[in-house]
Amino acid sequence: MISGPLDQLRILVPESRELDLFAGMLEKKGATTRRCPLVQILDLEDSTEAEAWIGQLLAGDFRDVIWMTGDGIHHLVGIAEKIGRRDAVIAALKRSRAITRGPKPTRALRELGLPAPWLPAPEPTSQGVLQAFAAEDLTGRRLGLQLYPGDGGLPLLDGLRARGAIVFPVTPYRYASDSDTTEVLQAIQELVGGQLDMVAFTSSAQLTRLLGVARDAGLRDTLLHALTRMPIAAIGPVIETTLRELGVRTILRPERNFHLKPLVNVIAAAWQASRLPHGGAA
């Protein structure tokens, strides 16, 4: 057994795209991880609207492009490749100014060989994106906006339009909330039964899925009670806000650099502090 600062920690890791990476980082520090994929990201069933958006990008219709997620970049480039326009899209992105909400889209752009974003949001939230434009007049500005499934990006869309921008949104992928419900329900039962010490969320969609399964099983209130009695790790302020609205108070998140490694470090520091003689087990 690996010995480290997370010895005896039993943690639910509901990561999807980077599940093995994240769980492995925790396990190397001694944690016992309970892996439970909650949200599967899929290609669009119909990419017609995304292809039209790509056409506008290639035509130079956008002065700026706002990237909300790394998956959005990967999927749009994937759609462009399917229609034989990948190289053209990369060239168009080099001509436009990128605004990124957080480290994942920044990393995705770098992986494509694109220059560092000119205008990163000061914090990885929709409000942070709006703050990035604080000193600019957006009246009549034509902006491309990559959204993610659900309503989470609508306040940003409304905020940009309220400032006079002409916004062209695109959602280039979809969520499949059909991860094995039996597996998710088992994880919920372990949480409410005290078999786990902590949960680590890296997206709000994971929390939504967990609560949805709990609701359907008549366990939503029981699950919320359990979550309020344990530390919850959140990779950034968006998830933290959602958790606080649900009544969760013990939230662990990096102060900055919202990546997996800083999140693991925060988890380790909190776990070590909880095991000091004056404290108790988490």
Local confidence band at 280 (pLDDT 50, 70, 90 cut-offs): very low
pLDDT mean across residues, the chain:
89
pLDDT exceeds 80 at position 256: no
Would you state the structure tokens that stand for residue 90, as one six-digit string? Answer: 């990369």
pLDDT of res. 50? 97
| Best CA proximity match to 121, nearest among 148, 102, 141 | 102
pLDDT exceeds 90 at position 62: yes
pLDDT of res. 3? 67
Question: Rounded mean pLDDT of 86-101?
Answer: 94
Per residue in 109-119, pLDDT tens? 999 998 776 78
Main-chain dihedrals φ then ψ at residue 43, nearest 5 degrees: -65, 155
- Distance separating alpha carbons of residues 246 and 271, to the nearest angstrom: 23
| Best CA proximity match to 252, nearest among 229, 275, 272, 236 | 236
Local confidence band at 282 (pLDDT 50, 70, 90 cut-offs): very low
Local confidence band at 104 (pLDDT 50, 70, 90 cut-offs): confident
pLDDT exceeds 70 at position 105: yes
Please state the pTM of the whole predicted model: 0.74
Would you state the structure tokens that stand for residue 196, as one six-digit string? Answer: 């786990």
Residue with tokens 């008549």: 218
Q: What burial letters (b/e) apply to 132-159, b meaning 16+ CB within 10 Å? A: bbeeeebeebebbbbbbbeebbeebbeb
Per residue in 159-210, pLDDT tens? 999 999 999 999 999 887 655 788 899 999 999 999 999 999 988 888 988 9
pLDDT exceeds 80 at position 32: yes
Quote the crossing angle between the two packed helices 260-274 and 19-28, to the nearest 10°: 40
For 36, residues 6+ apart whose C-beta sits below 8 A from its C-beta are 12, 13, 14, 179, 183, 184, 187
For 234, residues 6+ apart whose C-beta sits below 8 A from its C-beta are 200, 201, 240, 243, 251, 252, 253
CB 205 within 8 A of CB 150: yes
pLDDT exceeds 50 at position 279: no
pLDDT of res. 178? 57
By three-state DSSP, how is residue 192 classified? helix
Question: Rounded mean pLDDT of 223-236?
Answer: 93
Local confidence band at 232 (pLDDT 50, 70, 90 cut-offs): very high
pLDDT of res. 234? 92
